[in-house]
């Protein structure tokens, strides 16, 4: 068998190359070698990335690729070694060969240079942020559509933002600088203007009419109102006729009633040209100012008196009699008050006055003893005691008449137990019918309430000396 020699493929044209490839495929099919051989040598010609070459279009019996993907691919060339035609080799019918689809080329992603963290975070926020219109209006929440409408109408009427700031009532207390910034934004910021105009168009007609009714008055409108004198009594028809004669001067939202109301306001404050205005400053050199006391002296009481009312006088007399009766009753009961109750919560003075004989001090209140004999117990309906222990705390286990405290002429205090439960003095129980002497700073426990008994030594000493001097029996 003759040896196969590879021709110089670089010297072949594209058409000759296709024919050579077809011949080589036919020879390989007829030979015993079933494996396909391909050369790794490339065609020495200029290649383009966007060029797609189909090598099977010129071969008979080979199906072409139905669809080519639009992905950019690199040109690949596939060829096989071939053997020149020999008369001893018989050709067999061609076997269909499925063409290998070109391998798509994956273009590497360009490397992005690292940026600072602050720039990267701002870039991410800008990419996934809100639309420009929403970003531009995120700080416009204070401005209501009625505020924008009032601002626009006020500037159109007066041509002065300062006057608008002084004479227009907005939903918020805006400053003069905020009004200027808002006006410039409505004029030159497209996003803000678009949002504001849309919101004003969606306002209810009643809200628009209310804003227009409070619109400021221009100088030309007030000049026309000045033509009506203060001595005249104009009606609504007068202002309606004026509004019909000068529609180009008055604002479109003006009504005859609004004109009449504004004219009455000007007349009330003496702002009409024909009204005589009082001077703001008066010369007090000739006549001194009049004070309130002078006016009061000049006023006669007879002028202020009202006609007599018999029923009112009767009620006043009855109420006066009731008050006098209560005062007399309190005066009669003063002698019976032997104990004064003080609140000791917080700061309480510890000294005793010249009328207090002793003090029974508890946690909440302190009882001042101002007579030689007092009763201790629980106040109930129809039963009165001098020291009511319910003011100190829970006294449901205390008898209505628990004990009696007496002062002898010798200056000694004795406590007599008269209740069902015993009384503890410095830890010693005193049962019913017994008595015990109380010393200074003694601890008296009645049921669950504890008291400290303090004696006014100075006053007791004076009482004892007086008793010794008079030789009064104990």
Average per-residue pLDDT in the chain? 74
Confidence of residue 28 (pLDDT cuts 50, 70, 90): very low
The alpha carbon dihedral of 264, 268, 271, 276 has a sign of: positive
Could you give the maximum distance between any two Cα atoms of the chain, in Å? 178
Tell me how far CA of residue 72 lies from CA of 69, 102, 448, in angstroms: 8, 10, 102
Nearest to 178 by CA among 138, 147, 200: 147
pLDDT at 176: 93
pLDDT at 87: 42
Confidence of residue 147 (pLDDT cuts 50, 70, 90): very high
Cβ 447 vs Cβ 377: under 8 Å: no
Return d(Cα 59, Cα 52) in angstroms, integer: 17
Return d(Cα 236, Cα 58) in angstroms, integer: 102
Lowest-confidence pick of 155-164, 285-294, 449-458: 285-294
Return d(Cα 459, Cα 351) in angstroms, integer: 12
In this predicted structure, the answer to whether residue 67 has a pLDDT above a threshold of 60 is no
pLDDT at 387: 87
Return d(Cα 148, Cα 162) in angstroms, integer: 16
In this predicted structure, the answer to whether residue 96 has a pLDDT above a threshold of 70 is no
The CB-based long-range contact list for 260-268 (8 Å cut-off, 24+ gap) reads 260/234, 260/235, 260/236, 262/217, 262/225, 263/225, 263/228, 263/234, 263/239, 266/222, 266/225, 266/226, 267/230
Return d(Cα 28, Cα 401) in angstroms, integer: 138
Q: Which residues pair with 413 in a beta bridge?
A: 407, 438
The CB-based long-range contact list for 417-425 (8 Å cut-off, 24+ gap) reads 419/377, 421/397, 421/447
Q: Which helix (H) or strand (E) holds 294?
A: helix 292-298
Confidence of residue 337 (pLDDT cuts 50, 70, 90): low
In this predicted structure, the answer to whether residue 70 has a pLDDT above a threshold of 60 is no
DSSP 32: S
Return d(Cα 233, Cα 256) in angstroms, integer: 15
Lowest-confidence pick of 52-66, 355-369, 390-404, 441-455: 52-66
Rounded (10°) angle between helices 145-158 and 190-201: 100
List CB contacts of 399: < 8 A, sequence separation 6 or more: 377, 378, 418, 419, 420, 421
Q: Which helix (H) or strand (E) holds 72?
A: none
pLDDT at 341: 67
In this predicted structure, the answer to whether residue 393 has a pLDDT above a threshold of 60 is yes
To the nearest 10°, the Cα dihedral for 268, 274, 280, 281? Answer: -150
List CB contacts of 355: < 8 A, sequence separation 6 or more: 370
Mean pLDDT on 35-60: 54
Mean pLDDT on 82-96: 46
- Give Rg (Cα) of the chain: 59
Which of the listed ranges 86-95, 150-159, 366-375 does the model predict with the highest average pLDDT?
150-159
Mean pLDDT on 168-196: 92
pLDDT at 363: 86
In this predicted structure, the answer to whether residue 49 has a pLDDT above a threshold of 60 is no
pLDDT at 46: 61
Q: Which residues pair with 429 in a beta bridge?
A: 424
Mean pLDDT on 74-80: 48
pLDDT at 116: 54
Confidence of residue 80 (pLDDT cuts 50, 70, 90): very low
Mean pLDDT on 258-262: 91
Q: Tokens in use for 101?
A: 């689809």
Spell out the alpha helix ranges (H) of 168-309.
176-188, 190-201, 205-213, 219-226, 236-245, 256-268, 292-298, 301-304
pLDDT at 56: 43
Mean pLDDT on 2-27: 49
Return d(Cα 216, Cα 253) in angstroms, integer: 11
């Amino acid at each position: 068998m003759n040896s196969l020699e590879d021709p110089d493929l670089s010297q072949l044209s594209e058409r000759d190359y296709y024919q050579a490839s077809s011949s080589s495929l036919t020879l390989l099919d007829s030979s015993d070698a079933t494996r396909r051989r391909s050369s790794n040598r490339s065609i020495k010609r200029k290649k383009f990335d966007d060029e797609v070459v189909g090598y099977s279009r010129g071969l008979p019996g080979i199906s072409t690729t139905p669809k080519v993907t639009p992905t950019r691919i690199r040109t690949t060339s596939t060829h096989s070694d071939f053997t020149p035609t020999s008369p001893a080799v018989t050709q067999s019918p061609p076997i269909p060969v499925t063409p290998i689809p070109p391998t798509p080329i994956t273009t590497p992603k360009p490397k992005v240079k690292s940026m600072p963290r602050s720039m990267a975070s701002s870039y991410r926020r800008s990419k996934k942020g809100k639309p420009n219109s929403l970003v531009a209006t995120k700080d416009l929440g204070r401005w209501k559509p009625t505020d924008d409408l009032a601002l626009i109408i006020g500037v159109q009427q007066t041509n002065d933002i300062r006057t608008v700031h002084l004479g227009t009532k907005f939903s918020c207390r805006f400053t003069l600088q905020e009004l200027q910034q808002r006006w410039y934004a409505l004029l030159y910021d497209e996003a803000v203007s678009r949002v504001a105009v849309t919101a004003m168009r969606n306002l209810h007609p009643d809200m628009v009419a209310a804003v227009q009714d409070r619109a400021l008055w221009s100088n030309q409108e007030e000049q026309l109102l000045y033509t009506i004198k203060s001595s005249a009594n104009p009606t609504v028809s007068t202002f309606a006729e004026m509004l019909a004669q000068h529609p180009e001067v008055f604002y479109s939202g003006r009504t005859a009633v609004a004109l009449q109301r504004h004219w009455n306001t000007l007349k009330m404050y003496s702002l009409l040209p024909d009204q005589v205005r009082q001077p703001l400053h008066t010369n007090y050199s000739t006549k001194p100012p009049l004070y309130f006391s002078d006016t009061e002296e000049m006023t006669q009481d007879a002028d202020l008196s009202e006609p007599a009312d018999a029923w009112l006088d009767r009620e006043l007399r009855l109420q006066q009699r009731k008050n006098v009766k209560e005062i007399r009753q309190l005066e009669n009961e003063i002698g019976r008050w032997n104990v004064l109750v003080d609140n000791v919560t917080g700061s309480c003075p510890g000294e005793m006055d010249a009328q207090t004989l002793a003090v029974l001090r508890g946690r909440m209140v302190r009882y001042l003893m101002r007579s030689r004999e007092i009763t201790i117990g629980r106040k109930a309906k129809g039963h009165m005691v001098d020291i009511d222990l319910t003011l100190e705390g829970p006294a449901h286990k205390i008898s209505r008449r628990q004990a009696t405290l007496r002062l002898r002429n010798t200056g000694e205090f004795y406590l007599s137990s008269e209740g069902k439960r015993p009384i503890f003095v410095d830890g010693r129980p005193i049962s019913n019918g017994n008595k015990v002497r109380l010393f200074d700073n003694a601890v008296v426990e009645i049921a669950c309430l504890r008291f400290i008994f303090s004696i006014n030594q100075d006053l007791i000493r004076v009482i004892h000396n007086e008793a010794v001097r008079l030789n009064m029996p104990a």
